[in-house]
A and B are shown apart, each in its own frame.
Chain A
Amino acid sequence: MPQTLFAKIWESHRVADTAAGSSLIAVDRVFLHERTGAAALNGMVAAGRSVRDPARVFAVTDHIVDTRPGRGDATLMPGGQAFITETRAACAAAGITLFDVNDRDQGIVHVISPELGIVLPGATLVAPDSHTCTQGAFGALAWGIGSSEAEHAMVTGTLRMVRPRTMRVTYTGALSPGVTAKDMALTLIAAHGAGGGAGHVIEFAGEAVEALDIEARMTLCNMATEFAAVTAIIAPDAKTYAALAGTRYAPADFDAPYWQALASDEGAVFDAEIVMDAAAIAPMVSWGTSPEQSVAVGAVIPQGPQRAHDYIGLAAGERLAGTPIDAAFIGSCTNARLSDLRRAAAILKGRRIAPGIRSALVVPGSSAVRRAAEAEGLDRVFTDAGFEWRESGCSLCFYAGGEGFAPGSRTISSTNRNFEGRQGPGIRTHIASPETVAASAIAGVIADPRDYTP
């Protein structure tokens, strides 16, 4: 019987079935960060348990680590330093590899995992972080879990799981110029709701997905958690193997038949199917407080829940384009890889951010991305335009209680969540592609990136 890619990975990791209808699924990699990882490690030690195979568990400091130049353990978040020092001590005690504050491989967990070849096609990887789905772009089954489940995975090498359903989302045709993977994801979520993928593992497929470079595929998979999916996956191809070849933890030879078989078979049946027309997608911007509340940048805002209109301060019938903004943020595991920074810099080159912008920040997704960007001179393009250039980390993708935007700021952001208060109390977030953030920063109002294409 033809099998889906998900089914192949599931079956190859199914250790046993339980009496209650779940399965023990082998976990190949666990990745922790200091925000939720210390809780998992402390819980494990308190219960008198230890890590089954420490060589396959990794950790990084990315969430609350300072991103200002010359950083150390001190954080702007009150009490944040303890998360870093406790994670460091717990990793040392457990024999876990930690990519520490000033390690050259430090960066956002989902950005550094493929840079180092920790995620692999056909493998299972879990992290106590919802955006672990990002790594499905490499043909891995990678999903986010809670701290207790992370403890379970570390101690037993498995997770107890009820088999999720499958959904294929096929993007036919080709994207128009200036339209990106971020816009593909926001269009899907706006059309089918933030709960539209609930309970499903989503395989992204179709010509428009095949045409995406590996970094853009990560952006698409990243947003699957905003669609309530268990995770997302994309069949690996030559681009996938080229991206992983030569990385530190990846095998040397991706030619074996094992890797070539990692695709859904012709005729494989999914529990649900959605087809999207890539050519019809325009640059998208969120108008409300859920990613499902997103529209094409030139469109009129529809009537949504009144609470969302009140929080964001925009009524139905108004247009996003032309709305004045106070701040611009380029960063996060969604859109802070080298290709994202290149595309934003291409728009910013030779231009200045508008005088009304009080805060404009670029935070590279990893220390390696930062070095590569600096080698190309992108940092100077950003700083010449009036952006601040930072060390790598999650930074203002979320508000931890320390550094923040000015109260009430309307912020255009290349991140993934526009929830009430996500970027700080009262902060009104509009999520969009890095191009749209760059164009809006120049205009001082929400702007269509296609009007600023170099």
Chain B
Amino acid sequence: MTPFTTLTSIVVPLLRDNIDTDTIIPSREMRSTGRTGLADGLFAPWRYVEARVPDPAFTLNQPAFARAAILASGANFGCGSSREHAVWALSEWGIRAVIATSFAPIFAGNCVRNGVLAVVLERDAIAALAGHETRIDLAAQTVSAGAASWAFAIDPESKSMLLEGLDAIDLTLKSRAAIDAWTAQDRTLRPWVYLERAA
């Protein structure tokens, strides 16, 4: 996975609360069992007026934001369905960081697993940087636009996964011995958890 260190980009504003994953990528746009071919369906209900005719009023369609890598939004971004396709679609379109006042937990987890940074900032900070060239420094945990700068919090686990572009499965498999030992012990404590393989 591509490491996330610093990112400088114009911020495309989508300042609404409770933007759900059905809107980010509607189910009807998830046409294959793969993880690609999703950018075209990103925000489809809002982005197109009909039959793939772009709505010029929608910010993502405006030329100024054509290469934006940062999206700004309101509260509870990514709520609803667990579909990781929401992050895959954002990422394929070019978004590498989302700044919002809060995130739905499954969406936030999906971001980390795909090298996308989810930053929580206050509403006034988001209003100040929306539409502006902004720099995110993950190591320093800062977001800056013009002369203004804001600090953000992130748990150390997510931070190191993103900074180093780590694959979570590879990392966990290094603990295989500990998992095996735990499982052997658990089998004696909770035998009912362990099932016979289906015929």
Contacts and interface: CB of A to CB of B under 8 A. Distances in A.
Answer yes or no: do A and B interact. yes
Interface of A: 15-16, 18, 20-22, 24, 26, 28, 35-36, 38-39, 42-43, 47, 49, 53-56, 77-79, 82-83, 86-87, 95-97, 120, 122-123, 128-130, 144-149, 151-152, 155-158, 160, 162, 164, 193-195, 198-199, 225-226, 228-230, 249-251, 258, 289-290, 292, 305, 307, 398-401, 417, 419-422, 425
Contacts of A149: 109-110, 113
Given A16-B175, A398-B81, 20 more contacts: A35-B27, A77-B28, A130-B81, A146-B84, A146-B106, A146-B113, A148-B110, A149-B110, A156-B172, A160-B168, A193-B76, A195-B79, A198-B102, A198-B103, A290-B18, A307-B16, A399-B27, A401-B28, A417-B80, A421-B22
A164 B75 CA distance: 19
Given A155-B169, A162-B155, A128 B82 contact: yes
Nearest to A83: B33
B196 interface: yes
Given A16-B175, A152-B169, A419-B23, A144 B82 contact: yes
B82 A55 contact: no
B156 interface: yes
A34 to B, nearest CB: 9
Interface string B21-42: 0110011101111110000000
13 contacts: A15-B179, A97-B198, A146-B83, A148-B84, A160-B157, A160-B168, A193-B75, A195-B17, A195-B79, A198-B104, A228-B79, A399-B27, A401-B28
A39 B172 contact: no
Given A24-B175, A26-B182, A399-B28, A146 B110 contact: yes
A79 B82 contact: no
Nearest to A42: B33
Interface in B99-116: 102-106, 109-110, 113-114
A420 B27 contact: no
A191 B40 CA distance: 37
A64 to B, nearest CB: 8
B157 A162 contact: yes
B173 A156 contact: yes
A26 B186 contact: yes
A19 to B, nearest CB: 8
A361 B193 CA distance: 38
B198 A258 contact: no
A228 B82 contact: no
Nearest to B75: A195
Contacts of A148: 84, 110, 113-114, 168
Interface in B173-190: 173, 175-176, 178-179, 182-183, 186, 190
Contact of B28 (A82, A258, A400): A400
Contacts of B81: 129-130, 398
A195 B76 contact: yes
Given A38-B33, A128-B82, A398-B27, A21 B178 contact: no
A226 B186 CA distance: 34
Contacts of A96: 198
A419 B196 CA distance: 41
Contacts of B193: 28, 56, 120, 123
A199 B113 CA distance: 18
